[in-house]
């Protein structure tokens, strides 16, 4: 459409576009066909496509969205082309899964690797930075598992698919409390206060004999809390 052909506030064009009104019925039929084809393709891609997506699976899902849209909306394109591209996406996804199954190196390259972000109640800051997650993102996941301080934790892994795998200690130890900032009424809520001990607010290290001048051996921070 040329600029001079555009009439401002043309509600017929705004609502229906340049296509005739009858094309709306065709869009409905196209949408039904593409939707059914998409359901079949996603079902054939496996159960993982309905669960927590990995990086490659997320990329495929975004690609599927880009594939189905033109076939449903553009009159010049037939539905068959959209279905054929969906089949190509299925073949690509199956081939990718096969390559990942046969080669561990290729799997790590395409999916990423898991990393340990908490070990024995101490935050591994280097791995946190590598995984690009913040302290509050970690704490939010822990609070969702009814964990109130880092002393309850043996290991936390940040998986390649973006979820946290959390393993508790059999016998909790004193540790940094992980309630939201500003919640001052919870001190001692989940553990007994150890006289003279402090926990680093950044790295989570617990120091039982505390001096004001002490720095955390994990992060060199001087921010301590009961």
Residues 176 and 131 both lie in one domain:
yes
Band of pLDDT at residue 167, cut at 50, 70 and 90: very high
Closest to 168 (Cα-Cα) out of 191, 136, 146: 146
Average pLDDT over residues 154-182: 83
pLDDT of residue 13: 66
Please tell me whether residues 95 and 143 are part of one structural domain.
no
Residue 158 token pair: 């940040």
What was the pLDDT predicted at 107? 80
DSSP 181-223: TT-GGGTTSSSPPPTT-EEETTT--EESS--TT---TTT----
| pTM of structure | 0.65
- Looking at the DSSP bridge assignments, the partners of residue 167 are 155
Residue 143 or residue 82, greater confidence? 143
Tell me phi and psi for residue 173, to 5 degrees: -115, 165
Give me the phi and psi of 117, to 5 degrees please.
-110, -15
Q: Examine the pLDDT at 201 and tell me if it is beyond 90.
A: no
- Tally of structural domains, the chain: 2
Are 170 and 191 within one domain? yes
Same domain, 105 and 169: no
pLDDT of 81 higher than 90: no
| pLDDT tens digit sequence for 26-77 | 878 877 887 778 777 777 766 555 556 666 777 777 777 777 787 777 777 7
140 shares a domain with 82: no
Is the model's pLDDT at 134 over the cut of 90? no
At which of 78, 109, 140 does a domain end?
Answer: 109
Q: How far apart are CA 221 and CA 151, in angstroms?
A: 19
Distance CA 14, CA 97 (A): 44
The answer on 32 and 132 residing in a single domain is no
Per-residue pLDDT, 156: 92
Q: Which residues contact 180 (CB under 8 A, 6 or more apart)?
A: 136, 139
- Boundaries of domain holding 199: 115-225
| Residues whose CB is less than 8 angstroms from the CB of residue 59 and which lie 6 or more positions away in sequence, other chains included | none
Q: Work out the average pLDDT over 167-183.
A: 79
Choose the final residue of a domain: 109, 126, 155.
109
Q: Is residue 74 domain-shared with residue 140, that is, in the same domain?
A: no
Q: Which residue, 47, 80, 109, sits at the end of a domain?
A: 109
> Is residue 31 within 8 Å of 72, Cβ to Cβ?
yes
Within a 10 A sphere around the Cβ of 123, how many other Cβ atoms?
A: 24
> Taking the CA of residue 196 as centre, how many other CA atoms within 13 Å lie in the half-sphere pointing to its CB?
4
In the chain, the N- to C-terminal Cα span, in Å, equals 69
Residues 204 and 119 in one domain: yes
């Amino acid at each position: 459409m040329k600029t001079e052909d555009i009439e401002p506030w043309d509600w017929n064009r705004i609502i229906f576009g340049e296509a005739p009104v009858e094309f709306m019925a065709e869009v409905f039929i196209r949408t039904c066909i593409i939707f059914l084809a998409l359901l079949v393709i996603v079902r054939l891609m496996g159960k993982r496509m309905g669960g927590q997506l990995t990086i490659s699976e997320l990329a495929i899902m975004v690609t599927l969205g880009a594939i189905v849209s033109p076939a449903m909306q553009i009159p010049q394109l037939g539905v068959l082309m959209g279905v054929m591209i969906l089949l190509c996406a299925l073949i690509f996804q199956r081939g990718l899964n096969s390559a990942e199954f046969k080669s561990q190196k290729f799997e790590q390259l395409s999916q990423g690797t898991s990393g340990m972000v908490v070990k024995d109640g101490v935050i591994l800051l280097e791995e946190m930075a590598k995984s690009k997650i913040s302290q509050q993102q970690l704490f939010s996941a822990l609070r969702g598992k009814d964990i109130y301080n880092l002393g309850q934790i043996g290991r936390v892994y940040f998986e390649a698919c973006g979820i946290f795998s959390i393993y508790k200690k059999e016998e909790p130890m004193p540790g940094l409390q992980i309630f939201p900032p500003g919640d001052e009424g919870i001190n001692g809520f989940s553990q007994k206060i150890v006289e003279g001990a402090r926990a680093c607010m950044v790295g989570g290290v617990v120091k039982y004999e505390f001096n004001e001048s002490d720095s955390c051996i994990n992060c060199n921070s001087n921010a301590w809390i009961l």
